[in-house]
Structure 1
Amino acid sequence: MLTFTIRRLILSVPTLLFISLVIFLLLELAPGDPMAQVPLTVPPEVKEKMREALGLGQPMHIRFWKWLVQFFWIEPQVMIDHFFGTTYAVGDLRVISWQTRSPVMDTVVQRIPQTLWVVGTAYIVGILIALPIGIYSAYRQYSVFDQCGTFVTMIGFSIPPFFTGPLLIVIFSVQLGWFPFIYDTTHVVNDWDSFVYQLRQMILPVMVLALQTTAQISRYMRASMLDNLNQDYVRTARAKGLSESVVVMAHVLRNSMIPVVTVIALGMPAIFGGAIITEQIFSVNGIGSQLITALFANDLPTVQTLTFIFAMLIVFFNLIADILYGLLDPRIRYD
């Protein structure tokens, strides 16, 4: 397993380099001009100086190389300086946003806690709800519980966040007045009352995201459980006199979790993509809303950085899923 992990880590380097090249070329070749939002009253020579200041006058391969150096070399040094109080980083070589004229990673670090609070909590809640529903639905196939679970998951699959978000706002915020519909990102938790308010303002966006997570994972869990419940080893375990709980939870569940682990691991970076819409609806000042703002402003450094961060998360959680395969099933060996 250690050899496989090291091999996959080495293989991820050219993978990420190729992904970064694709992202850079797609954004560079896309239509649009960063100077399009500059007022018409600005003289052409001033616009040309602004373009040179942004580095747009350099060849494409030079800009790509500089971006790689900034992202993989300068920004890690800045993070080390931030946590250990050192002075290794060179400040003027950082990835600078064209919109805010500030380092992109500084904004990401400021916004990521809001995204983790909402998106991370929603994903954990969705998994904790989906796994028991999928297990019990498979064990009680075609029961009333199974039928209700199928109906709810179909709703979760069918209704997009841009519909469920405003619907929950109308019901629980406007009509009932139970929860705030605007997420206050400046709220500070320092006592019990502020903690309760933080939970109240998180409920609606968490419900929207958790519904999608529960719908997806519970269906995978149910299908995997049904596939394993009919296997020969289950009948053998029952013939040996093992209790039903031991058969289901110790034998069937462990084998059934192998395909579900893939869905859970790959869903962790993907849930950030879904949070883009939810953050816009509830005004959560996270990295999802930052990506939307950067797209509208044609802020290529911010879009490149955030998109590449999402790609890194996908590659990383792919590795985590492969490692968990070997832990869940001793028959799987990579060495």
Structure 2
Amino acid sequence: MLTFTIRRLVLAVPTLLFISLAIFLLLELAPGDPMAQVPLTVPPEVKEKMRLALGLGEPLHVRYWKWIVQFFWIEPQVLIDHYFGTTFAEGKLRVISWQTRSPVMDIVVQRIPQTIWVVGTAYIVGILIAIPIGIYSAYKQYSMFDQAGTFVSMIGFSIPPFFTGPLLIVIFAVHLGWFPSVYDTTHVVNDWESFKLQFRQMILPVMVLALQTTAQISRYMRASMLDNLNQDYVRTARAKGLSEFVVVMVHVLRNSMIPVITVIALGMPAIFGGAIITEVVFKVNGIGQLLITALFANDLPMVQTLTFIFAVLIVLFNLIADILYGVLDPRIRYD
């Protein structure tokens, strides 16, 4: 397993470099000029100086190299300086956002906690709900519970977040007044009352994201459980006198989780993408809303960095899924 992990980590380096090059070239070749929003009263020579200050006068390969060095070398040092009080990144040039004129990663680091609060909670809630539903639906196949779970899953698959978000706002925020419709990102949790307020404002966006997660994972869990419930080893375990709980929750569940792990691991980057719409609907000041703002402002450094972060997450969770295969199934040997 260790050899496989090292091999995958080494393979991830050229993969990420290729992805970074593709992202950089696609966005650089896209139409649009960052100077287009500058007022017409600004003289052309001033616009040219502004263009040079943003690094647009440098060759394409030079800008790509600076961006890669920034992401993999300088920004990790900035994080170390931030948490440990060191000075590794002091005085080093950093990639600047065209929109805010601030270092890109400083803005991203400020927005990530808000996204993790909402997206992370929604994903955990979705998994905790989906797995028991999938297990029981498979064990009680074609029962009323199974049919109800299938119906709810189809709703979760069919209705996009830009519809469920406003719908929940109209029902629970406008008509019933139970929850706030706008997420207050400036809210600080320091006592029980502030925690209850934070919990209330998280309910609606978490419900929107958890609905999709629950719908997807519960269906995979049900299908995998049904496939394993009819295997010979299940009949053998029952013939040995093992209780039904041990048969289902130990033997069947462990083998059924192997394909579901892929869905769970690869779903984490995907739900960050789905959170883009949810963050805009509920005004969550996270990286999803930051990406939309950067796209409208033609802020290429910010868009490139955020897009590449999503790519890194996909590669990372692919590796985690492969490692978990070996943990769940001893028959799998990579060495």
TM-score between the two structures when normalised by the length of structure 1: 0.99
Instruction: Say whether 1:178 aligns with 2:178.
Output: yes
Q: What pairs with 1:35-184 in structure 2 (closer than 5 Å)?
A: 35-184=35-184
Paired residue type of 2:98: W
Q: How far apart, in 2, do the equivalents of 1:164 and 1:69 lie?
A: 41
Paired residue type of 1:263: V
Paired residue type of 1:294: A
Partner of 1:322: 322
Q: Summarize deviations over 1:62-102 as a string: whole Å, max 9, x none.
A: 11011111111111111111111111114451121010000
Aligned residues of 2:74 and 2:92 also touching (Cα < 8 A): no
Q: What pairs with 1:134-283 in structure 2 (closer than 5 Å)?
A: 134-283=134-283
Q: How far apart, in 2, do the equivalents of 1:74 and 1:220 lie?
A: 41
Partner of 1:304: 304
Q: How far apart, in 2, do the equivalents of 1:306 and 1:26 lie?
A: 14
Aligned residues of 1:122 and 1:210 also touching (Cα < 8 A): yes
Q: How far apart, in 2, do the equivalents of 1:301 and 1:14 lie?
A: 21
Instruction: Say whether 1:8 aligns with 2:8.
Output: yes
SS at match of 2:186: coil
Moved beyond 4 Å, runs of 4+ = none
CA-CA distance at 1:236 after TM superposition: 1.1
Partner of 2:22: 22
Paired residue type of 1:51: R
Q: How far apart, in 2, do the equivalents of 1:181 and 1:92 lie?
A: 42
> How many residue pairs align between the two structures?
335
Q: How far apart, in 1, do the equivalents of 2:131 and 2:124 lie?
A: 11
Q: How far apart, in 2, do the equivalents of 1:59 and 1:111 lie?
A: 31
Structure 2: tracts of 5 or more residues without a match: none
Aligned residues of 1:74 and 1:90 also touching (Cα < 8 A): no
Structure 1: tracts of 5 or more residues without a match: none
Aligned residues of 1:32 and 1:298 also touching (Cα < 8 A): yes
SS at match of 1:93: coil
More moved, 244-253 vs 87-96: 87-96
CA-CA distance at 1:147 after TM superposition: 0.2
SS at match of 1:41: coil
Q: Summarize deviations over 1:211-251 as a string: whole Å, max 9, x none.
A: 00000000000000001111111111111111111111111
Percent of counterpart pairs with the same letter? 88
Q: How far apart, in 1, do the equivalents of 2:211 and 2:91 lie?
A: 43
TM-score between the two structures when normalised by the length of structure 2: 0.99
Q: How far apart, in 2, do the equivalents of 1:68 and 1:122 lie?
A: 32
